[in-house]
Chains A and B, each alone.
Chain A
């Protein structure tokens, strides 16, 4: 098939950042994913709703026990534009902090390593994290500039350095934003792990991940970090040319679960995207990191149909549209 001009530009443009790996075909399935997963979909019409009780409800539905654990909340904090909604809303982060504390976690901290802007604390100020989360500076670790340890084996690279704060957490809660993504199709709880890769070594942006391949990097990071839980902020998502230049999309949901591919697959279905056509979700399923087939996901809370809100997709991703 000959690509049209836009498709070629998209692929070629992506490969400038993704390197040759971007053209490698999907690897064959290693083994079929086993078991099933619970995903909770909870309605939250606005950020002024009681988000603490909604998160507690979702956590309970998923059967998560955090008693005595050191919990790292990892929001999606990238850069700030007052005209749109790039980042996980501060209300969701504050509510998660309160919820996990009330569930008996030994410690709940917040960490993020923004991929674009270097002044992490200024971004945290602009997004109101520093003003609306009590004692934010004491709770927060800039994962871009944390102390690091090497982890052997990352895609075709011998090793990757990762922040000690993330490596030592008993549980990482991916507090992602429900957004489209102009290279990956959608950015949700799995893609959010790009933020743990330290800019102090890999730069701003973390171009090494693009060279490895965005999809491969997403899957590899989620292979390394397995003690995870996801809460996707879909109260207001981003459609169109996400993850930075898209437009706000009211959805009114929080989507939660311990199986991140299942959470992201559910988000995709809510967004009107076929998760089996999103490369990193298909790869995650093939590598048994989680399930994405609807039949294997036990949906709790709201049904997908009742909260469905098809997102606008850029031209190159029209083929991702759920039939």
Chain B
């Protein structure tokens, strides 16, 4: 998995503003900048990245996804985790945590959730009372932003413990478990659509396992993740699955597939994180254990 040239390429492709684009030569975005900063932790390049990221935080504590995009972003979770990993627990960290605690998926209007609860029209595909986190405010909960928010809030729990935080983590974990597919993995948001089972994706399965790391009921999911790690041709999936398996104490199998090449910054960064920096995502046991 480890790409020996990845760190060199990351240093070479850092933008003048301190960030990274999703692809070399493109404008800086939060997500690749955070992962590159994690991959290069301890390097001055990572410090420049954090300086840029701090300038993207809005007054309400949420982070926008790039300099010019005025939309609050799920990437707030990544910045909170990055701040925690750097030992920076000042205002950006605290306001970021506060923003995450007020952010929740919008799962349909109240009357609709009430109707579902009556079960007059059958079982919904998922429990709409369980709220994870959305990609952006006023949209529904999805696996990936929920997993990253769980990691960020668990990181924050040592510095900013509160009943509200613990409860939010508990509900977030329950939401992820509720949308687990029949095959043990995770699709991107639900285990079924219109009463038809959905199949798991490798990336979202890995991310859910990172969000739920340490939970006692992950055996089937880890078996599936192991098989996915062996068979996937996606370097993004391979990276996330490697991180997920390691964090959950499972062996990472050799790949039997030819992994596709990729020009993406994130994939270069994840190849380093998966080998040397998985502690960035380590949170310890799940809230429900």
Contact = CB atoms under 8 A, between A and B. Distances in A.
A complexed with B: yes
Interface of A: 5, 8-10, 12-13, 15-17, 19-20, 79, 81, 116-119, 121-122, 125-126, 130, 137, 142, 145-148, 150, 161, 182, 200-205, 207-208, 210-211, 241, 245, 314, 316
Given A119-B236, A121-B260, A137-B263, A200 B139 contact: no
B149 to A, nearest CB: 13
A9 B139 contact: no
B71 A161 contact: yes
Contact of A204 (B29, B71, B128, B144): B144
Nearest to B74: A203
Contacts of B112: 12, 15-16
Contacts of B31: 200
Contacts of B267: 119
A126 to B, nearest CB: 7
B219 interface: no
A98 to B, nearest CB: 24
A142 B201 contact: no
Given A145-B22, A203-B145, A205-B188, A12 B115 contact: yes
Interface string B244-269: 00000000000000001111100100
B107 interface: yes
26 contacts: A9-B194, A10-B194, A12-B112, A12-B121, A12-B124, A13-B125, A16-B112, A16-B128, A17-B140, A119-B236, A119-B260, A119-B262, A122-B236, A126-B233, A137-B263, A147-B26, A148-B68, A161-B69, A200-B65, A203-B136, A203-B145, A204-B188, A205-B188, A208-B136, A211-B106, A211-B140
Given A16-B128, A121-B264, A125-B260, A202 B107 contact: no
B17 interface: no
B264 A5 contact: no
B1 to A, nearest CB: 15
Nearest to A10: B194
B23 A145 contact: yes
A8 B116 CA distance: 10
Contact of B196 (A15, A203, A207, A245): A245
Contacts of A148: 66, 68-69
B235 A119 contact: yes
Instruction: Classify the interface of chain B: helix, strand, loop or mixed.
Output: loop
Chain B interface size band reads 35 or more
Contact of B188 (A16, A116, A200, A201): A116
Given A147-B26, A316-B194, 14 more contacts: A15-B108, A16-B112, A118-B236, A119-B203, A119-B235, A119-B236, A119-B262, A119-B267, A121-B264, A122-B235, A122-B260, A145-B29, A203-B145, A210-B139
Interface string B182-198: 00000011000111100
Most buried by B among A119, A121, A145: A119
Contacts of B65: 200-201
Interface string B114-129: 0110000110110010
B73 interface: yes
Interface string B1-42: 000000000000000000001110011010100000000000
Nearest to A146: B26
Nearest to A137: B263
A5 B235 CA distance: 43
Interface of B: 21-23, 26-27, 29, 31, 65-66, 68-69, 71, 73-74, 106-109, 112, 115-116, 121-122, 124-125, 128, 134-136, 138-140, 142, 144-145, 188-189, 193-196, 199, 201, 203, 232-237, 260-264, 267
Contact of A147 (B27, B121, B263): B27
A16 B107 contact: yes
Contact of B71 (A126, A201, A207): A201
Given A16-B112, A17-B140, A245-B196, A203 B135 contact: yes
Most chain B beta carbons < 10 A, residue from A147, A148, A314, A316: A147
A79 B196 CA distance: 17
Contacts of A211: 106, 138-140
Contacts of B22: 142, 145, 200
Contacts of B116: 12
Contacts of B71: 161, 201
A125 B116 CA distance: 41
Nearest to B237: A119
Contacts of B189: 205
A122 B109 contact: no
A314 B29 CA distance: 41
B273 to A, nearest CB: 16
Contacts of A9: 121-122, 124, 194-195
A207 B31 CA distance: 19
A104 to B, nearest CB: 29
Contact of B135 (A8, A16, A20, A202): A202
Contacts of B128: 16
Contacts of A202: 135-136
B192 to A, nearest CB: 9
